[in-house]
Chain A
């Protein structure tokens, strides 16, 4: 049974609670004597706080306390941090403004945190908040990404609102490639700002026991250990060993729940200060205002091409909007997670990327599904189309000419790509999409008066963040490993502890499949424990498609250690030697004999080392009792999933409405543990990427008000926006981890925006920016008709 677990479509073990309404999300938790928090947020994008008058509100019914920025100063609560230092090309460190969890001096975006009212009921907290009088001196807001550097400085000491001016690549070599190029292709692109919109709004509950000095924070986190570390070490709220962070069921993250937010810090601090539980649940509009947003790049790219269609160089200048502050992963997202992948899966010998990261008076921007890789893929796949079109070449053939074909492949930028077969998935995708039949389908659409277009996108991403040796060699401050503990209980069942966190990814199932496969124990006897800092070892959390490649590998390593110890114990019990013991399907067998012990018997003997027949103690000399092993796994390299996606759109010329009518993709995620879960990840990623391409846009007006701050105004993709996606795979196993897995969580969101946009542009024959809303498409078609008439 064991070996069949890998690659098996096992139904999810975690589903029952969710389909019966028994999930336990943070907002579902009610603690005895709890109070309710309501945050007062800045209505202005940029303003000085002259005075916060809480006197009237303090006297309002039910109010327990009100905390402001002055309390934060008085109690020495530290600011929120940006975790990755970036060094500018002139050698200077990135510049960051202070980011207090409650502002005391200046507010820097609409939704910025000013004070928190804590009361006996939410209604009383909300009513009292109306009585807090904040005297603001409103300042001019800096909103626009493109003009941020030429606008008034938001912060003293941060010239041009520039956090850093960073570069990657061999500039001279790239200039040389451009000097020799037969053709230089230019493209200007936006990568629209998105709101992650996990369906569960953020929430936190703090609980403090003054007699034991134990502080607990229940929170909607992808990353409970890091939340505990940051709130202990940097915000200084409570020492780590007396602080427990629990992330129970979490309703989606997509990046937005990686970071401890101001609310988490304040709720933990407030619970400790008042000695009663404090509960805060975000409302959706506040989520729009204060969850970290994603993307928001403006890019100019140039491609150097030989007349035979071989790409020889890529030059990229990007301005990345960081929003009002530097969020935890904000600085690494538009640098190390972005620039190394701008060359895509093409063999481009020279590339150079300059990234200027700017502050604006908008919500902080940080990692959102794909984090840097969608931006890289969008630019390379758009400019590859542009180049093929300008040179009159078939867009599919142009791509094929430039694919990397030999592995390992050392890119011109950073990565050493271990494995892949790009022709294989591209050809398979063309077949799946019936590229040959496109002309007929286009004619059929035309007969109905509709425009039809086809778009390709190929991608490579670097997953399994982050191998210390690689990332530290390119200037990152820390690497990111993962931990696991595999603990047999005496009765032979297993508790598996992981530092990864599942908020939809199905770890309880996939990780149990790995253990079942390795140890030959039925799935039903394996329980996965995660999301509670009091239970498992320190972990780094879930993001960057890392959980299986890094966390799953840690579990695999821990299982290896269990088998190793089991062999020693079994050898002793069976009067053999460890070298003579084989382990297969849950049994330790003396080679060429029928003498064996099950792993359950070994576990029992390890915990209850009595007399076993002739053997006085089952434990050989020097072997400790118990059967549990911990592993910390730091991968040797990133993993590099890749794939080819083909999108077909049909456009109504009268309304500009674009419909994705066909979507086919072939991905190489290496080994698949549970193909059913993988498919689900791809579907979800595609929906988000198609959403970015056609619908979603976080839009701030010129004063810094977020116009799209509810589901009435922000276009969330719905069921009737999509066709049935066709999904297939190729497989070149990763060599950087023992499971051969590459990561699948973000691929759909990375690959689909350029596939859709290339299809839209193919259909309408003119450039258009994301999102290609019906209005924009309609305008583009009208402009085209007008200019055609003019020309005639």
Chain B
């Protein structure tokens, strides 16, 4: 067991946890932030993507105990004061989601893309999202949403 302090969505949390607890489980089970989803067991699907210290990571590949002191942003922490983040608004406007299961990870990955590349081409968007699987949308409206968000950010 280890005591871990993280800043999650702007709030400090300290918990004593098992050394082997995955960050995804920590977020879902200890903090009840169920917007971060788990869609596979091989770190392929990307439904669990969150930001750790500003960078997108698959939260199923990290141990919570290993990132003591880090700042974590989950999908629940993306909008501010009830205003949707431009990426969230663009996903809605362009019908970039259907069942919604991959959506939190997809949005968190896309936000990080724009942090790295303010004006990505279609090909760059598609390549960046290679680690996020969506079975519903065929990706086209996701690409459109990311382009729109790039214009609005």
Contact = CB atoms under 8 A, between A and B. Distances in A.
A792 interface: no
Interface string A195-221: 001111100000000000000000000
B143 A719 contact: yes
Given A20-B84, A199-B133, A505-B98, A284 B42 contact: yes
B97 A19 contact: yes
Contacts of B127: 719-720
B135 A199 contact: yes
A18 B126 contact: no
Listed residue (B39, B45, B107, B133) with the most chain A CB atoms within 10 angstroms of its CB:
B39
A436 interface: no
B29 to A, nearest CB: 8
Contacts of B34: 21, 24-25, 27-28
A686 B138 contact: yes
A683 B99 contact: no
A19 B91 contact: yes
B70 to A, nearest CB: 19
B37 A200 contact: yes
B125 to A, nearest CB: 7
B67 interface: no
B100 A20 contact: no
B88 A20 contact: yes
Contacts of B126: 718-720, 722
A407 interface: no
Most buried by B among A30, A199, A251, A676: A199
A676 B97 CA distance: 12
Interface string A242-256: 000000011110100
Given A11-B93, A199-B101, A710-B42, A21 B35 contact: yes
B17 to A, nearest CB: 13
Contacts of A198: 99, 101, 135
A677 B130 contact: no
Sort chain A's interface into a size bin.
Answer: 35 or more
A21 B92 contact: no
Interface string A495-510: 0000000011110000
Given A684-B137, A719-B129, A19 B88 contact: yes
A21 B104 contact: yes
A23 interface: yes
A710 B40 contact: yes
Contacts of B130: 718-720
A738 B1 CA distance: 63
Contacts of B44: 710-712, 716
Residue with the highest number of chain A CB atoms closer than 10 Å, among B75, B97, B98: B98
Contact of A688 (B45, B135, B143): B135
Contacts of B64: none
Identify which of A14, A20, A25, A504 gathers the most chain B CB atoms within 10 Å of its CB.
A20
B66 interface: no
B5 interface: no
Interface string B52-88: 0000000000000000000000111011000010001
A25 B37 contact: yes
Contact of A25 (B101, B140, B141, B142): B101
Most buried by B among A22, A283, A683: A683
Interface in A2-23: 11-12, 14-23
A254 B88 contact: no
Contacts of B142: 719
Contacts of A601: none
Interface in B108-152: 122-123, 125-127, 129-130, 132-143
A18 B137 CA distance: 14
B33 interface: yes
Contacts of B23: none
Contact of A677 (B95, B107, B132): B95
A612 to B, nearest CB: 41
B135 A19 contact: no
A748 B138 contact: yes
A284 B39 contact: yes
Contacts of A284: 39-42, 45
A15 B42 contact: no
B75 A200 contact: no
A123 B37 CA distance: 19
B141 A680 contact: yes
Contacts of A417: none
A503 B99 contact: yes
A679 interface: yes
Of A17, A30, A251, A283, chain B has the most CB atoms within 10 Å of the CB of A251
A451 interface: no
B102 interface: yes
Contact of B99 (A20, A200, A676, A686): A200
A695 interface: no
A200 B41 CA distance: 12
11 contacts: A15-B91, A15-B92, A16-B84, A19-B88, A197-B135, A199-B135, A680-B98, A680-B136, A710-B42, A719-B127, A722-B138
Interface of A: 11-12, 14-25, 27-28, 30, 197-201, 249-252, 254, 283-285, 503-506, 676-677, 679-680, 682-688, 710-712, 716, 718-720, 722, 724-725, 748
Given A19-B107, A199-B37, A712-B42, 11 more contacts: A11-B93, A19-B92, A199-B135, A201-B39, A250-B99, A682-B138, A684-B136, A684-B137, A719-B143, A722-B139, A725-B138
Interface of B: 28, 32-42, 44-45, 47, 74-76, 78-79, 84, 88, 91-93, 95, 97-104, 107, 122-123, 125-127, 129-130, 132-143
